[in-house]
Amino acid sequence: MLSARAFSQTRRAVAPRLLLLRRRTFYEDAASTTNTLYLESLYTQYQADPSKLDAKWGDYFAAMEAGQKAEPPAMGSSLRQLGIETRLAAAVTSGETATGLVASSSGAGGLQNLIRAHQVRGHEAASLDPLDLHSWRDWEEKGLAASVPELDPTYHGFSEADYEKTFDVSFAGLNKSATLGEIVDTLRNVYCNTIGVEYMHIGDLQKFDWIRTRVESPDFLPSDKERLIKIYSELMKVDTFEQFLNTQYKTTKRFGVDGGEASVAGVNAAIERAAEMGVQEVVIGMPHRGRLNVLTNVVGKPLVQMFAEFKGTHYDFENLVEKSQTDDWLFAGDVKYHLGTSNVREFASGKSVLATLEANPSHLETVNTVTLGRARAKQYYLGNTAETRSRVMPILFHGDASFAGQGVCYETLQLAHVQEFDVGGTIHVIINNQVGFTTDPVDDRSTMYSSDLGKGFGLPVLHVNGDDPVAVTSAFQLAAEWRQTWATDVIVDVICYRRFGHNETDAPEYTQPMLYKQIAKHPRTHVVFEQKLLASGSVSQAEMDSIRANLWKQHEEAFAAADAFKPDEDMGNWVATKWEGFVRPTDKASSHPTGVDLELLRKIGAKLCEVPEGFKLHNGLKRQLKKKLEDIESGETIDWATAEAMSFASLLLEGNHVRITGQDVQRGTFAHRHCVVKDQNTGQDYCFLNNLDLGPQENFIARNSILSEYGVLGFELGYSYENPRALVIWEAQFGDFANTAQVMIDQFVSAGEHKWLQQSGLVMLLPHGYMGQGAEHSSCRLERFLQLSDDDEDDIPAFENDFGRNQVQKANWQVMNISTPANYFHALRRQQHRDFRKPMVLASPKNLFRLRQCVSQLSDMGPGSRFRRLIPERDTKIADNPEKVKRLVFCSGKLYYELVAEREQLGLDNVAIVTLEQIAPFPFDRVKAMLEMYPNVDIGDGIHPGNVIWCQEEPKNMGAWSYVRPRFVTTMREGLEKDMVMRYVGRRASASPATGYPKLHNAEQEALVKEALVGHDDENWTVQRPSSLLGHQT
């Protein structure tokens, strides 16, 4: 038992925290929400039977009813106490147990509740803010109170006199019999110190206990000299980097982590601990803040190189300019705080870890799922088991404002345990500097913590004071242990401050004057820590001085050496993963034929129609498979889905992993794919493509995804980054939904290689086509993808041979609208049969799956066949008589079939129809051949259009028109030295992509097809618009 003196010391020790608990009087206010509810319940009782209520309350309510001003009879704690008593009494009389209610007795029940209160709400009174402002606890307007009454022993019925009494207690670090003073002190030490742990929302008792026993253990925070020195050294590495740059480049944007240094040191501790527990690789995604420091001190990018980047000696500008004159592809590069890299980190323990930092754009949180996709791919290639997942650990950094505000964070957490997306747990680190640019936390969220989203997913949240590097290190180590033990996510919320402005050139005093007065006075984290270490006598001043001096010297030496740093010719060190044998756009590339042996295709075909003995297939599917088998055997009518499956199968047999995800991809939005079928009796899956039984094959994954585009597309992109021997496909339910993933498309898919040399062969399937389904399900917004395509409309490249391949190699991506199953087959295979990778955006069909005419011959996929960027007139009668042709119609996708049907109907043999299968990069060479082929087609008089037509379904301001028009003209001018005015036939310009009225849709479609084929009589150019439904002609 404590002596009275010791007890009073204990109480003094905790006194500042008690002050903190009482800083606000929210609960003391009779008009506050809590008490309003309580008053209401009393009033209900009063109305029911005034005699049951204390007379003072009766008088109060009577006065209120009479419209007189009255004070409630009980205020403050007595009111609260009364509330508790009443609720307890109600619970007892109704026979409920008192779980969740506080006991009013000072006995064991009260003690239990006191302990539980600390476990539940201790973090709300913890000392988490280095600046001791804890502003997020004081948001009355959001219903958030600063005081936590349950942490006060008196709330549980104890009085001052009880502090010296002993109680039987079972709590780590306490004797079985301890005084209340000791108990309170221990509880506050664990739960209200510089770590605030939130874990009571974790439903699983085992996990809950796992975390409880660790944080409650007296050994949780280290105190031995060796470990303290290590923590100090790690912190100083981070701090020295920032301070050194601050002296050399005071006003250069670097988004320093000053104020949050401990978070970077902490991540290192997490990785080291994880390595001890079997982690071999970490994949890191992070935004700007502290990124340069992480690159250097976590990933291990050499200091010399980092300084060379500051000095600008890491690239040779003259050389770059020279290259731009000779090369037809120029690397754009990116600012240094967006670049990625990977490197092997060695630890003192002898363990090493391959650390990869994903390149990212400035768009906050976008990199999250890209990082997880890459991690999942690494785990897949290691063996795709829970064990291999445990070997690759993702770490995602977040800013406090962005984690609270960006919806993709939700998508990221939602993916955590979905099959084929699970990465075995992610460590989320919030560098919580309590500001987002100029926005205060009060404006960046509704919830108390930036991390509160995590609670919805049952993640443990470790809030930790950034000025306590020991606590930060322990929190990170715990996070790593959690991840390795439970294979689920965890959040470490490092609460710190931002010493300078948003970047180093900003003046934050404009917007946060009071905060920055406080920050200006506040010593750096290492100074706070040094004082603590000195006070505790664990480390001497001389020891710390020597560590600091050494680090500074290292930085000075590296800085001097940076002048002589040899720039990497290839800048290859910026690519997170290097692919052996794959070439850059500036290198010579090669490709292989994509046709497949017909016998093999037939065998594959048979397997695609076969389910195991006893498998109860749905009758509808049985009929489909029977028909499919007939088609394959005849080799005449291969449909879209079969062509797709055959291309997948052939790629799998060639050793490519194939993965397709997106909403409902197993069946396919249009019920065409059915690549995974269900046993009607058992619900069991069967996947044809994983049971080819035709020799060794890679694995096929088709997984329906969560209902997200942004997050899932990012995941697949990251997956595609890891290994080029995988065909990775993301399919949108309808193409228009891709716009919710626009950041991923603009910032990563279209520009990743140009900015970061990061290649990807990702395929995006975007169902597209006008079928009268209204505004949103008609268009995948081809125009947007085409606008992002980087081939110059006025430049026909002069490739000596293999125009098509060369052009794609230099382009940022390929945009397709394919019209035949065989061409789709080759387009997919072509992705894998090159020694470079290029994303492919495919406006995929919606009705061609079942269109009788949309079939290919098996031989179109056989040896010698290949992808056709453009398909010339297919009717030999017309193609063989080109001089008869008066109109030349170019189109793409399913519109082709409608034009042909109408042409047949009208019996026309003077109109040729050509499909552009690959729209971008524009097949100048093939288009030129088409323009040359038909000598009698009027190309216009130089002012007015002739009869070379671009026909599209989309409104004039959409679809491919704006992209193809100048390129057709260039082809004619540069290639054939003639001026051509191209004729537009398609819907009129419109804000909405399509009409919602089916009849109007039909009328439009009919008008545009007719106009393309027969045109209108307009000798004198007076009819500007042949139909009110169509666009102007010029």
Residues that bind ligand TPP (CB under 6 A): 289, 362-364, 399-402, 431, 433, 435-437, 498, 502
- Residue 365 engages Mg ion in binding (rule: CB under 5 A): no
Cβ closest to Mg ion, residue 435 vs residue 889: 435
Which listed range, 338-346, 391-399, 420-428, 1010-1018, lies at the site for Mg ion (CB under 5 A)? 391-399
DSSP state of 972: I
Q: Which does 364 bind (CB under 5 to 8 A by kind): Mg ion, ligand TPP, none?
A: ligand TPP
| Alpha helices, DSSP H, located in 459-614 | 469-486, 513-521, 525-536, 541-561, 598-607
Cβ closest to ligand TPP, residue 500 vs residue 825: 500
Q: Which does 826 bind (CB under 5 to 8 A by kind): Mg ion, ligand TPP, none?
A: none
Q: Which does 673 bind (CB under 5 to 8 A by kind): Mg ion, ligand TPP, none?
A: none
Whether the Cβ atoms of residue 1009 and residue 904 lie closer than 8 Å to each other: no
Q: Which does 575 bind (CB under 5 to 8 A by kind): ligand TPP, Mg ion, none?
A: none
Cβ closest to ligand TPP, residue 392 vs residue 429: 429
Q: How far is the CB of 242 from ligand TPP (least distance, A)?
A: 14
Give the position of tokens 């982690």. 279
Cβ closest to ligand TPP, residue 443 vs residue 599: 443
Distances (CA, A) of 885 to 266, 901, 905, 931, 942: 73, 18, 17, 12, 20
* First-to-final CA distance of the chain: 96
Residue closest to ligand TPP (Cβ): 399
Q: Which does 437 bind (CB under 5 to 8 A by kind): Mg ion, ligand TPP, none?
A: ligand TPP
Cβ closest to ligand TPP, residue 188 vs residue 755: 755
Q: How far is the CB of 414 from ligand TPP (least distance, A)?
A: 19
Q: How far is the CB of 360 from Mg ion (least distance, A)?
A: 16
Which listed range, 143-151, 393-401, 556-564, 968-976, lies at the site for Mg ion (CB under 5 A)? 393-401
Cβ closest to ligand TPP, residue 43 vs residue 139: 139
Cβ closest to ligand TPP, residue 364 vs residue 960: 364
Question: Which residues, including other chains, have CB under 8 Å from residue 166's CB and lie 6 or more apart?
Answer: 1, 177, 178, 179
Q: Which does 834 bind (CB under 5 to 8 A by kind): Mg ion, ligand TPP, none?
A: none
**Token pair for residue 223?**
């105190």
Q: Which does 731 bind (CB under 5 to 8 A by kind): Mg ion, ligand TPP, none?
A: none
Which listed range, 395-403, 420-428, 581-589, 755-763, lies at the site for Mg ion (CB under 5 A)? 395-403
CB atoms within 10 A of CB 1: 14
Q: How far is the CB of 396 from ligand TPP (least distance, A)?
A: 13
Which of 333, 326, 208, 311 minimizes the C-alpha distance to 252? Answer: 311
Q: How far is the CB of 506 from ligand TPP (least distance, A)?
A: 10
**Token pair for residue 933?**
């082929």
Sort 1011 into a burial class: Cβ within 10 Å, 0-12 / 13-18 / 19+: buried
Cβ closest to ligand TPP, residue 252 vs residue 531: 252
R_g (Cα) of the chain, nearest Å: 35
Q: At 728, is the secondary structure helix, strand, or coil?
A: strand
Q: How far is the CB of 358 from ligand TPP (least distance, A)?
A: 16
Cβ closest to Mg ion, residue 259 vs residue 923: 259
**Token pair for residue 242?**
């920032």
Whether the Cβ atoms of residue 453 and residue 409 lie closer than 8 Å to each other: yes
Cβ closest to ligand TPP, residue 289 vs residue 755: 289
At 162, which amino acid appears?
D
| Alpha helices, DSSP H, located in 107-179 | 108-121
Which of 553, 496, 503 minimizes the C-alpha distance to 526? Answer: 496
Strand partners, 985: 951
- Residue 451 engages Mg ion in binding (rule: CB under 5 A): no
Q: How far is the CB of 343 from ligand TPP (least distance, A)?
A: 24
Q: How far is the CB of 251 from ligand TPP (least distance, A)?
A: 17
- Residue 400 engages Mg ion in binding (rule: CB under 5 A): yes
301 vs 307: CA distance, rounded Å? 11
Which listed range, 388-396, 397-405, 667-675, 941-949, lies at the site for Mg ion (CB under 5 A)? 397-405
Give the position of tokens 């799922």. 369
Cβ closest to ligand TPP, residue 304 vs residue 367: 367
Give the position of tokens 């030349």. 888
CB atoms within 10 A of CB 784: 18
| Beta strands, E only, 905-991 | 911-916, 918-920, 948-955, 983-987
Helix (H) or strand (E) holding 742: helix 742-743
- Give the total residue count for the chain: 1034
Q: How far is the CB of 385 from Mg ion (least distance, A)?
A: 38
- Residue 493 engages Mg ion in binding (rule: CB under 5 A): no
959 vs 785: CA distance, rounded Å? 10
Cβ closest to ligand TPP, residue 134 vs residue 376: 134
Q: Which does 363 bind (CB under 5 to 8 A by kind): ligand TPP, Mg ion, none?
A: ligand TPP
At 578, which amino acid appears?
K
Q: How far is the CB of 400 from ligand TPP (least distance, A)?
A: 4
Give the footprint of Mg ion on residues 423-442 (CB under 5 A).
433, 436
Whether the Cβ atoms of residue 677 and residue 617 lie closer than 8 Å to each other: yes
Q: How far is the CB of 366 from ligand TPP (least distance, A)?
A: 7
How does 627-657 read in b/e, with b if 16+ C-beta sit within 10 Å?
A: ebbebbeebebbbbbbbbbbbbbbbbbbebb
Among 399, 460, 821, 940, binds Mg ion (CB under 5 A): 399
561, 564, 568, 573: CA torsion to nearest 10: 10
Give the position of tokens 């009443």. 86
Cβ closest to Mg ion, residue 433 vs residue 484: 433
Q: Which does 402 bind (CB under 5 to 8 A by kind): ligand TPP, Mg ion, none?
A: ligand TPP
Q: Which does 393 bind (CB under 5 to 8 A by kind): Mg ion, ligand TPP, none?
A: none
Cβ closest to Mg ion, residue 400 vs residue 753: 400
Q: How far is the CB of 502 from Mg ion (least distance, A)?
A: 9
Q: Which does 121 bind (CB under 5 to 8 A by kind): Mg ion, ligand TPP, none?
A: none
Question: Which residues, including other chains, have CB under 8 Å from residue 354's CB and lie 6 or more apart?
Answer: 280, 281, 282, 342, 343, 344, 345
Report DSSP letters for 802-852, one per residue.
Answer: -HHHHHHHHSS-EEE----HHHHHHHHHHHHSBSS---EEEEE-SSTTT-T
Half-sphere exposure of 43 (CA within 13 A, CB side): 13
10 vs 663: CA distance, rounded Å? 59
Q: How far is the CB of 519 from Mg ion (least distance, A)?
A: 13
| Alpha helices, DSSP H, located in 638-705 | 640-653
Q: Which does 532 bind (CB under 5 to 8 A by kind): ligand TPP, Mg ion, none?
A: none
In Å, how far from its chain's centre is CA 276? 28
Cβ closest to ligand TPP, residue 401 vs residue 471: 401
Q: How far is the CB of 431 from ligand TPP (least distance, A)?
A: 6
Q: How far is the CB of 637 from ligand TPP (least distance, A)?
A: 48
Q: How many chain residues bind Mg ion (CB under 5 A)?
A: 5
DSSP state of 1020: T
Q: How far is the CB of 261 from Mg ion (least distance, A)?
A: 15
692 vs 301: CA distance, rounded Å? 45
Q: How far is the CB of 238 from ligand TPP (least distance, A)?
A: 15
Cβ closest to Mg ion, residue 129 vs residue 400: 400
- Residue 466 engages Mg ion in binding (rule: CB under 5 A): no
Whether the Cβ atoms of residue 607 and residue 688 lie closer than 8 Å to each other: yes
Cβ closest to ligand TPP, residue 236 vs residue 364: 364
251 vs 576: CA distance, rounded Å? 29
Q: Which does 147 bind (CB under 5 to 8 A by kind): Mg ion, ligand TPP, none?
A: none
Q: Which residues bind Mg ion (CB under 5 A)?
A: 399-401, 433, 436
